[in-house]
Structure 1
Amino acid sequence: MKKIAIIGAGVVGATAAYYLSKEEGIELTVFDEGLGQATKAAAGIICPWFSKRRHKAWYRLARMGADFYTRLLADLEADGMETAFYQQSGLILLKKDEAKLQELLAIGQQRRQESPLIGELGIRKRSDDVANLSGFDYYLWASGAARVDGALLVDCLLRSASVSVVKKKVRLGLLDQGRYQIDHQVFDGLILASGAWLGELLEPLGYQVDVSPQKGQLRDYYFAEPHLTDFPLVMPEGELDIIPFANGKLSIGASHENHQGFDLAVDEALLQAFEDEALLYFPKLIDAASKTARVGIRAYTSDFAPFFGEVPGLPQVYAASGLGSSGLTTGPLLGKALSQLVSGHPSLVDPADYPIKNYISQE
C-alpha cells in the first residue's frame, strides 16, 4: 500500500484526492488548516475565452480547464453525486467603450473553433431579455460561460472520495529512503496544494519559492425570493463581477490585492465600493435581505504564471501553485494532472509547459 498525503484541500487538492481515491493500492490522507482558502472565497466565473493575456501556455491551461469540467461533472454524476455547484448561466460581458465588444466577439469566434463549449456568441442590445439590468446599451453574450461555487465543489469532491480532512497546520519532514513525515505519520509521496502557503512548507527545507499572497474579498447577497437561478453572469470592465447562484444568492467581487500579505480582515469600504458600482448595473441589489463577506488568499508568481510538477530534489513530492484568480478554472485540471503524476499515469497536462523549476529552487 502506497501512502500519499495531500496538504491543502482547496480545488487542486480536493480534485487530486478525488481521482486518487479511485486508484488501487493508495492510502490517502488530506491535511488543511482551514484558514483563508482561496477556493472558498472565489468568485467563480468559468469563461477564459476572451482573455487578451499573451501567455499562450496560460491560455491553453485555462481553455483545457474550462473544458475539463465536462469530464469532472460526468465522473461525479457517475458516482451518484449532485453537481449543482456548476451551472452554465451564460455571460453578459460589458465594456465602457462598446466598440471594443466587436474585437472581443472576433476573439471568441476564433477560439470557439477549438472550444465549442463557448456556445452561442453575439453582440446584443439590452432589452427585456436581461430584465433588472441597466447601465449599458450593448453587451457581448456567451451562452457557454459557467459559474462555480468553490466551497460546494470541494465538498462534493471530498465526499465522493470518502476522504476526511485533518484540520491542522502541518510541517514537512524528510526521512531516509525517499520517505516523508507529516504529523507523526510516514508517507511515500506528497502533493503540496497549499496555494500561497507553499513557501511555509518548503522554505524550512532550504528552498526559495516564488509565490506571493493575493488577498481577495467579495460579498454574498441573499434575497427572500430565489429568483436568480437562471440569471446570467455579468462581467463589467474592471474587477467587479456579478455572479448569481441558486437559492437567491448573488456574489459581488472580487478584489485583487497584492500587498496585503495574509491579512484576512474584511475591508468594508472596499466592499461598499463594489456594491455602489454593482447598483449601477443591478439596481435590485438594494432589495437584498442580508449580506455576508468572504476573504481568501490566492497565490501568484512574479510573472503571474502557474506551475506544477515534481519538486526539484524531492522525489515523489509534487506541487502546484500560482493559479491566481483563475484557480477555479484551472484548479480541477491541475488536480487531476497531479493525481496522474503520483499514480504513474500519463498526465493530461505536460509539466514541461509550466516548469516548477522556474519558481522553486534549492538555496
Structure 2
Amino acid sequence: MRVIVVGGGIVGASAAFHLARRGVATTLVDAGHVGRATSAGAGVVFPRPLPWDPEPLRALTLAAAAHYPALMTELAEDGHTTGYQAVEGMSVSAGAATADREHALLGQMAAQPGCAGLGGVRRLARGEPARRVPVLPEHLEGVAFGGMARLDGRLARNALVDAAEERGLRRVGGDAELLGDGTRITGVRAGGEDLSADAVVVAAGAWTARLLAPFGVRVPVFPVRGQITHVALPETSTRDWPVVRFADHDRFMVAFPPNRIVLNATHEPDAGFDHRVTVAGLRQVLADAVETAPGLAEATVLETRVGFRPGSRDGLPILGPVESLPGVVVATGLGPSGLTLGPHQGALAARLAMGEAVGIDLDPFRPDRDTGRS
C-alpha cells in the first residue's frame, strides 16, 4: 500500500510516523508554509475532556490522553528529543469564589472515567501561587492539579518526521495539488512530479480547504491568527514551574527550562493568512502578561511568533474520509488544541487511510459536514 500525507505539522508528522511504523510506503509532502500552527503553539498539553464536551469529542480526547505518553516515550527511547515533559497545572484567580469554582470543576473532571491523571487536585491558599511562580502577585489563590504537560511543537514534529524517515518515509517539498481520475483521488502533484497513491491524508492545517476546493468539497476550516511572545528571566530558573491558567481572564502561561516563558497568544479569526506581528497584537500580549504576572515587566523579550491555527466553523475537529471523494482522509480543525490532540488525530488518520476502524464515532467530525456557517 502507498499513502501520501500532505502537511508537515504535528498532525501530518504523526500520520506519517504511524504509517511508516506499520510498514506502509509513505511519502510526506510539506510546503513548509510560513505560519504553521505547530511551530507557533504555546506548548500546553492537556488531553482531558471537559464535563460538557459532547461524547464524540470526549472519546477523542480520552484516547489522546492514553496515546500521548506512550508515543513520547517511544520517540525518546529511539533517541529523539521532543521537548515533552509532564508538569503540574495551576489555575489562579484573585477571588476565593472563582478559585472554589475551579476547584469544584477540576474535581468533577478528575472523577470522570479515564481522567485519573488529574488526581491530586488541591486548593491553594492566598499567596501560595506566588511562592511557586514568583512573577505572580501575592494576592492570588488557586488550585493545583495533575494531568498536564508542556511540549516544544517544533522538536516534537521533527522527532516524528525523523523517526518516520528511519522507517522508510520519503519527504517531498513544495505545494501540493491533489490528482484524481474522475472517480477518486489517485495521488498528488508536488516538487515537480506526480506521485501516485492508494490513499492521501490531507493534514494541511489552515490550508486544507484550498486543497479540496477544486473538487467541490468545502472543508469548514479557516485560519485563526495567533501572535505569541516568548520572554526570558535570565536570573530565574523556570524548570519546575507549573503551567499557569489565569481563571479570571482565561489566559495561559507556560514555562520551559532554563528560563523561557511563553505568554498567552492573541486570537484573531478575521486576520486571514496575514503573517505579521502587529503593534496592536504585540501590545495586547505584553499588556496581558504584565497585568496577570507583574513580575514579567523586567523580562527580556526574545521573539514573537505568528501561527495560523486551523479553526473549524463549529468548534469541532475535522477528521475522516470525504464521501464524495474516495481516496482522501482529512485531519485538521483542532484550533488551539493542536499540540494536545494532534498526535492522536494523526494516528487515527493513518488508520483510516489503511482502511481500519478507529473505534469512535467520526460522524460529527466529517470534513464535508454542513456547519451552517460559511
Distance 1:187 1:176, change over 3 A: farther
Q: Size of the alignment, in residue pairs? A: 359
RMSD: 2.5
User: Which residue number in structure 1 is paired with residue 100 of structure 2?
Assistant: 102
What's the CA shift for 1:40? Answer: 1.0
Out of 290, 293, 315, the residue aligned to residue 279 of structure 1 is: 290
How does the TM-score come out when normalised to structure 2?
Answer: 0.87
Is contact 2:266–2:284 with CA below 8 Å preserved after alignment? no
The offset of 1:51, in angstroms, is 4.2
Residue 318 (structure 2) aligns with: 307
Q: CA deviation at 1:177?
A: 7.5
Q: Give how far 1:157 is off.
A: 0.8
Identity of aligned residues (%): 28
Q: Is the 8 A contact 1:240 1:274 kept in 2?
A: no
- Is 1:173–1:182's contact at 8 Å kept on the other side of the alignment? yes
Structure 1 window deviating more from structure 2 (159-168 vs 30-39): it is 159-168
In structure 2, runs of 5+ residues without a counterpart are: none
- SS of aligned partner of 2:349: helix
Report the Cα distance in structure 1 between the residues aligned to 2:295 and 2:98, rounded to whole angstroms. Answer: 28
Aligned to 1:324: 335
Aligned-partner Cα distance in 2 for 1:306–1:350: 12
Q: 1:176 to 1:56 in 2, by over 3 A?
A: closer
Deviation at 1:105, TM superposition (A): 2.1
Structure 1 residue runs of 5 or longer lacking an equivalent are none
Q: Does 2:270 match 1:252? A: no
Q: 1:173 aligns with which of 172, 179, 199?
A: 179
Q: Which residue of 1 is the match for residue 273 of structure 2?
A: 262
Q: 1:307 to 1:181 in 2, by over 3 A?
A: closer
The correspondence for 1:157, drawn from 153, 156, 160, is 160
Cα distance 1:272–1:25, how it changes in 2: closer, same or farther (>3 A)? closer
What is the aligned partner in structure 2 of residue 13 from structure 1? 12
Q: Give distance in 1, aligned partners of 2:132 and 2:258.
A: 21
Q: Which residue number corresponds to residue 92 of structure 1?
A: 90
1:292-321 Cα deviation digits (max 9, x unpaired) = 110111122221111211112222210012
Distance in 2 between the 1:241 and 1:131 partners?
A: 16
One-letter identity of the residue aligned with 1:320: A
Shift of 1:336: 0.6
Q: Supply the AA of the counterpart residue of 2:302.
A: K
Matching residue within 207, 224, 235 for 1:197? 207
Deviations 1:48-102 (A, max 9, x none): 548465534334323332332112123213423234x112221121245431322
Q: CA deviation at 1:165?
A: 4.2
| Inter-partner Cα distance in structure 1 for 2:157 and 2:270 | 27
Greater CA drift, 265-274 or 146-155: 265-274
1:195 and 1:322 in contact (8 A); partners too? yes
The 2-side partners of 1:60 and 1:103 are apart by 25
How much does 1:38 deviate?
Answer: 0.9
Q: Single out whichever of 90-99 and 303-312 deviates more from structure 2.
A: 90-99
Q: Give the 3-state SS of the residue equivalent to 2:368 in structure 1.
A: helix
For residues 141 and 269 of structure 1, what CA distance do their matches in structure 2 show? Answer: 33
Deviation, structure 1 residue 360:
9.3
Partner of 1:144: 147
- For 2:249, the aligned partner's letter is G
**What is the letter of the counterpart of residue 245 of structure 2?**
M
Name the TM-score, length of structure 1 as normaliser.
Answer: 0.90
Q: Which amino acid aligns with 1:174?
A: G
